[in-house]
Amino acid sequence: MGKKVIIIGAGGVGNVVAKKCAMNPAYFSEVVLASRTLKKCEAIAEECKKIGLPTSVQTRQVDADDVPALVQLFNQEKPFMVINVALPYQDLTIMDACLATGVHYLDTANYEPKDVAKFEYSWQWAYQERFKKAGLMALLGCGFDPGVTGVYTAYANKHYFDEMHYLDIIDCNAGDHGKAFATNFNPEINIREITQKGKYWENGEWIEIDAMSIHKPISYPNIGPKESYLLYHEELESLVKNFPTIKRARFWMTFGQAYLTHLEVLQNVGMTSIHPIKFNGLDIVPLEFLKAVLPEPGTLGENYSGQTSIGCQIKGTKDNSEVTYYVYNNCHHADCYKEVQAQGVSYTTGVPAMIGASLMCEGVWFNPGVYNVEEFNPDPFMELLNIHGLPWHEEVNGELPHTY
């Protein structure tokens, strides 16, 4: 018997989560999609009907910055859980509303305050005792990265290593959406992420580097070598905490030259700033204005060709011998569009969110408190990835894409 779920956020990722939930009535008996702009929810619900999904999606308008409005919505709908795929700014207000109404919580990106481009888990980890006391569970970062990358790491640790020592998460988008410049997920969040300083973990401390200053070609399966940049990414924080044998953890992501050139120009002219300026008597945040003129991630799918490839490569030991391990998924943008009218980055985020929610609904992953994905048994999640559209491949002691 499935459970009732509310999805908050009707963007690129929300579209995928809504459709994947509506496709799986065994996990989700009722699906409500709520967002700031009601007509975006209605358009997705209409498409679900058009493609003949078994569960009809109900729609609601809500401003997720407003705790009383969320409390009212949750009290009316009485869902088992909420899947938060709005923006990281809304994580804490939605968690507060969950505590006030007895609703379980899942998200795909950790909280960041609007006025500081800084993301870390401390704010959400601080809810641990309150969730535990209320008998509620919050699952943090259950997209692809963070999300599947944490599950991959937990799976590697469980099955292949006594001690993991070196972790490299490698993320490639070798797709082409045909636009001069666009971001694959929310532009504001994406640009904040890559214009801040890079950071990686080595020998018990964080090493900070200038943004995009370390890069090298990495050879991705079925794609080939692509220039990849060392970034700070939020799952590094929880993974080095939960797997303390890791001596070094880094995150790499590909960017095309045209993207980097656009970004450099936008930065040089001040368009990526998060500090308000006065314009015609109004306070305007340049990055928020830039977001308004860029294509929305949910609209990029139609002519998107090529594929993504995201994986973890790990070096460590088992029975005193050295082991290397690589696990990854490749995902074609066109296949995602055919199935749920989305591009691959929304798809690879939305499917794991649905899977995490299904495991919570079924009680397979369930523990009161606030958790990251790698704290649960990875096996059932890995099985569901193969079933729901993100099959994975592994190589043990094979050649690694990233040479050390």
Say whether residue 140 binds ligand NDP (CB under 6 A): no
CB closer to ligand NDP out of 30 and 234: 234
Say whether residue 185 binds ligand NDP (CB under 6 A): yes
Say whether residue 389 binds ligand NDP (CB under 6 A): no
Q: How far is the CB of 303 from ligand NDP (least distance, A)?
A: 18
Say whether residue 150 binds ligand NDP (CB under 6 A): no
User: What is the C-alpha to C-alpha distance for residues 219 and 211, in angstroms, rounded to an integer?
Assistant: 22
Contact pattern for ligand NDP over residues 28 through 47, marking x by CB under 6 A: -------xxx--x-------
Count of residues near ligand NDP by CB under 6 A: 36
Nearest CA-CA partner of 185 in 85, 256, 273:
85
Q: What's the CA angle centered on 49, arms 46 and 52, to 5 degrees?
A: 150
CB closer to ligand NDP out of 23 and 34: 34
Look at the chain and count its residues.
404
Say whether residue 9 binds ligand NDP (CB under 6 A): yes
Say whether residue 186 binds ligand NDP (CB under 6 A): yes
Per CB under 6 A, which of residues 268..307 are in contact with ligand NDP?
296-298
Q: How far is the CB of 217 from ligand NDP (least distance, A)?
A: 23
Q: How far is the CB of 252 from ligand NDP (least distance, A)?
A: 15
CB closer to ligand NDP out of 77 and 145: 145
CB closer to ligand NDP out of 30 and 235: 235
Closest CB to ligand NDP: residue number: 11
Token pair, residue 388, equals: 């729901």
Say whether residue 75 binds ligand NDP (CB under 6 A): no
Q: How far is the CB of 280 from ligand NDP (least distance, A)?
A: 23
Which of 46, 63, 208, 335 is close enough to bind ligand NDP by CB under 6 A? Answer: 63
Q: Kindly report whether the peptide bond that precedes residue 146 is cis, defined as omega within 30 degrees of 0.
A: yes
Which of 30, 77, 112, 145 is close enough to bind ligand NDP by CB under 6 A? Answer: 145
Nearest CA-CA partner of 184 in 37, 332, 347, 389:
347
CB closer to ligand NDP out of 5 and 62: 62
Per CB under 6 A, which of residues 78..97 are in contact with ligand NDP?
85-88, 90
Which of 127, 144, 326, 371 is close enough to bind ligand NDP by CB under 6 A? Answer: 144
Nearest CA-CA partner of 21 in 38, 45, 40, 43:
45
CB closer to ligand NDP out of 194 and 323: 194
Binding site for ligand NDP (CB under 6 A): 8-14, 35-37, 40, 62-65, 85-88, 90, 108-109, 143-147, 185-186, 189, 296-298, 345-346, 349
